[in-house]
Structure formats: structure tokens, C-alpha cells
Structure 1
Amino acid sequence: MTSQQKPVVIWNNPEAVPNVKIGEEELCWIAVESDGKVFTFSAYYQNRPLITNEDGDLINGCDDWALSNECDGYIDSVCWVHNRLHTDYDHYWEQIKFDNEYKLLGWAKYETPEFTGVKV
């Protein structure tokens, strides 16, 4: 591939979601439209649902990967998220909220690009 060529990315319908194992997340590319402009960037699709029994208690094992916050306790997180730096947490996940002004156009599997830059 020459420096003029861009890698081929296969975009998925925004209504579809990545096949991510329960309790995990996967890094992908997403394309969004805002103010008439299209942006692409990496984001995670997270599949960390809150699964409880009939008494409202987390099922066995769910508490190993269920997310919590200080205000609400355990939270359901099956959505697109950013992983942000935070002084108090190893991983701070922030949901990406889409609406008519910030529209998800599609997503693609993230593949690390080959480095073709400066050679020493």
C-alpha cells in the first residue's frame, strides 16, 4: 500500500451491533454526523448488562464484570462508550449518546494500521 492509499474499511449498519462477549467490550471505529460534518474515531462497544434474579440481586458471576458508579450502584452498560482517564478509577467508561444532532452513521471492526512512517 502506498502512502496515498487509505486502508479499506467495511462499515456496518448503525442498527447492527458488534458481537461482543457478555462482560466485555470491543474497540471499533465509529462514524458520526454532527453539524453536517462526518467524523470517524475509535470507541468501544460494551456488553456489560445488569443481570439480576427475581429478588433483584446480581446473578452469580455478574458482579465480576458489572459496572458501578458512586450514585447509582450497579449500572447496565450495553452501548457505545469512551474509555477516559480518571484519577480515581482504572477504567472510566462514558456512554456516547446519539440523537438527531449527533447521529451514528456506522461502525467497523478496528484493525491497527501498519506503521509506514519515518524509518531510522
Structure 2
Amino acid sequence: MDSGGADYRRYRRIYFPDELAISGLVAEVDTHKEHQVKVLNLSEGGLFFTLAREEAGSFREKGSVLFIGLRGPDPFTFSQILNMEIKWVCDNEIMENIGFGCEFVDPPSGFVKQIRDLVAGFPMYTG
């Protein structure tokens, strides 16, 4: 079965190495409870983040989550509230964290351009 790897991705993305330390802020749609997450990659279409297992209780595949913003070195610090759909979940019981692949839902064109420009500006981390 094809896992939809990098060869089949719709958008180029930035893969953040550990030394870049990009965190994100997401919130539960119903309660607006905020969670700080580790962002592993970002594209104009969405992002992949990890969250400690004990904090991930309400996040489910095909569920919704609010994206609030990114925190990291410039230019990776910005705020933008967007809806995201959780497209897939990476959950292995031996891991401390659960990973969530999310797609931005109807992002504004200015945000899409901002992310596209970020990806274009960091070719050493893209795929």
C-alpha cells in the first residue's frame, strides 16, 4: 500500500530539524483549550505536529483543530487562526508522543502566500 510519501505530496514543505525548534499553538475546537505542540513540517497545505500522549485525548483522525500560530526564530513566528482537519494520525503505543498530519481548511490567500514564500526561502530543509 502506498503511504503517500514525499514523491506524491501536493506542496513543497519545510522539514524542521531539531536544532530549529519550531513550536506551534493549536486549540480544541469545542473547548478552545490550547496545546503547545512541536511542528515537524509545514507547507501551504498544512502541517504535521506532535503532542504528548496524555494531552492528545480529544484529537482524532478526521476531526478538527484550530491553528493559532507558530513560534520559533524569525521568520517562523506568526499568528493566524485557522481551522485544520486532522487527515491522519501517527500513534504507536511505544512512543511518548502522537503525530497529527493536518490540512488547513480554506486558508486566506495572504497566509498561503506567506507559507509558500517561507518554503521557497529555505530550500535546504524542503522536500
TM (normalized to structure 1)? 0.28
Structure with more helix by fraction: 2
Which structure has the greater CA radius of gyration? 1
TM (normalized to structure 2)? 0.27
Which structure has more relative contact order (CA 8 Å, sep 6+)? It is 1
